[in-house]
Amino acid sequence: MSVLAYVESFKGKIKKNALEIVSYSRELAIKLDTNLVTIVLNVDDTSELNKHGASKVLKVTNSELESFDAKLYANVIAQAAKANNSNYIVLSSSLDTRYLAPLLSIELEAGYISNVVELPSSLNPFTIKRTSFTNKAFCDSTIDSDIKIIGLSSNAFGISENNTEGLLEDFNPTLSEKKITINSTEKVSGKISIADADIVVSAGRGLKGPENWNIIEELAETLGAATACSKPVSDMGWRPHSEHVGQTGKPVATNLYIAIGISGAIQHLAGINSSKIKVVINNDPEAPFFKAADYGVVGDAFDVVPRLTEKLKAFKA
C-alpha cells in the first residue's frame, strides 16, 4: 500500500498548490503508516517537493503530455497507482483535476471525494470532511471502495516544511492514443493569474465603469496581486471573463482577498470564501459583504483605494 500524490505543473514548473498537496499527502501517509509516492509530469526541478516531505518522486517526461489531456493524464496516474500499489490518491481540486478525477475513478474503480478540507477522521469506515453546497456547509463523506481518491480543497490544510531526502525515479507509462490535439493556447501574459496569486484585488459595480479600473490595477500592482471582478462587471464587458469570480466564475482561495464596491451576494461569496483574509471596502455599511469580512472599510472606493495604494507604496519604499 502507498499514498500517491499527483502534483500539477505548467511549462516545466510545479504549480502553487503542489506543496500543499505534498504536505497533506505526507500526513495522510503517516496516519496510514505507509509510504508517500509523488508523481510529476514534465517537471524540470522537483527539489522543492522534497523540502515538504516528498520522499519518492516519479518523474514522467514525455512531450505528448505537455498540454493537459484529462483522459491521458488519468491513465498515466492510474498506471503509477497500480505500479506502486497505491490505495490512496491525492489530487488538488483545480478545474483540471476535477475533470480528470472521475476518469481516474473509473479506471481504478475508486471512490472519489472532492473539496476535502481535513485528514480522514476515521480510517474504517474511511470518513473525511468536505465542503458542500458551494462552500456553505461541511459534510462527512465515506468511501468504501478499496482505492480512494481525495481531492484536496485549496488552502484547506496549509503547507508544512519537512526536509526529506528524495528518491527520484523515472516513470515511463505506456501512453494510450491521444484523442485531443491542442493547436494553440492563449494565456494572459504579464499578469498574475487568479489561480497563482497570493493576493487578489477584486472590484464590482461600485466602480461605476471600466474607465475607473486604473485605481484597482494600481493597488494590485503595488501588492503584486491579481485582479478579479464580480459577475455583472464581466457580463457588461468592463473586465474580461477570465476575471469573473464566484459560484459561476473562478473559485478564489488566496491568502488575502480585497473586495472593492462588491455587495457580497451569496453567489459571489460562494466562490471566494476559501480565501483566508477578506478585506471589504464599500460605502454602504449595510452591504452583506461586511458579514463575511475580516476587515472592513466603510467609505467611497474613489477616496479609500488611492489613499491605501499611496500608503502601501510609502510603506514598501
Ligand X SMILES: Cc1cc2nc3c(=O)[nH]c(=O)nc-3n(C[C@H](O)[C@H](O)[C@H](O)COP(=O)(O)OP(=O)(O)OC[C@H]3O[C@@H](n4cnc5c(N)ncnc54)[C@H](O)[C@@H]3O)c2cc1C
Residue with cell 497507482: 81
Span 220-239, contacts to ligand X by CB under 6 A:
230-233
> Going along the chain, which residue ranges are E strands?
2-7, 9-10, 13-14, 35-41, 56-60, 86-92, 111-116, 122-123, 126-132, 137-143, 148-152, 167-170, 199-203, 226-229, 256-260, 277-282, 295-298
Cβ closest to ligand X, residue 40 vs residue 207? 207
Bridge-based pairing state of the strands 9-10 and 167-170:
unpaired
Cβ closest to ligand X, residue 149 vs residue 233? 233
Segment near ligand X (CB under 6 A); pick from 53-61, 100-108, 115-123, 256-264: 256-264
Segment near ligand X (CB under 6 A); pick from 37-45, 74-82, 125-133, 243-251: 243-251
- Does residue 246 interact with ligand X by CB under 6 A? yes
C-alpha cell at 36: 508517500
Least distance (Å) between residue 132 CB and ligand X: 18
Query: Judged by CB under 6 A, which of 96, 283, 306, 312 binds ligand X?
Result: 283
Q: In what order do the strands lie in the sheet with 277-282?
A: 226-229, 199-203, 256-260, 277-282, 295-298
- Does residue 300 interact with ligand X by CB under 6 A? yes
Span 98-137, contacts to ligand X by CB under 6 A:
none
From the list 41, 56, 60, the residue with the least C-alpha distance to 165 is: 56
Find the radius of gyration of the CA atoms of the chain. 21
- Does residue 247 interact with ligand X by CB under 6 A? yes
Query: Judged by CB under 6 A, which of 206, 216, 254, 257 binds ligand X?
Result: 206
- Does residue 18 interact with ligand X by CB under 6 A? no
Least distance (Å) between residue 95 CB and ligand X: 14
Distance of CA 266 to the CA centre of its chain: 21
Cβ closest to ligand X, residue 140 vs residue 235? 235
- Does residue 205 interact with ligand X by CB under 6 A? yes
- Does residue 282 interact with ligand X by CB under 6 A? yes
Least distance (Å) between residue 246 CB and ligand X: 2
Buried b (16+ CB within 10 A) or exposed e, 1-20: ebbbbbbbbbeeebbbbbbb
- Does residue 262 interact with ligand X by CB under 6 A? yes
Least distance (Å) between residue 285 CB and ligand X: 9
Cβ closest to ligand X, residue 53 vs residue 251? 251
Q: Which residues contact 301 (CB under 8 A, 6 or more apart)?
A: 203, 206, 207, 215, 260, 261, 281, 282, 283
Residue with cell 496569486: 197
Contacting residues toward ligand X, per CB under 6 A:
204-206, 230-233, 246-249, 261-263, 265, 267-268, 271, 281-284, 287, 300-302
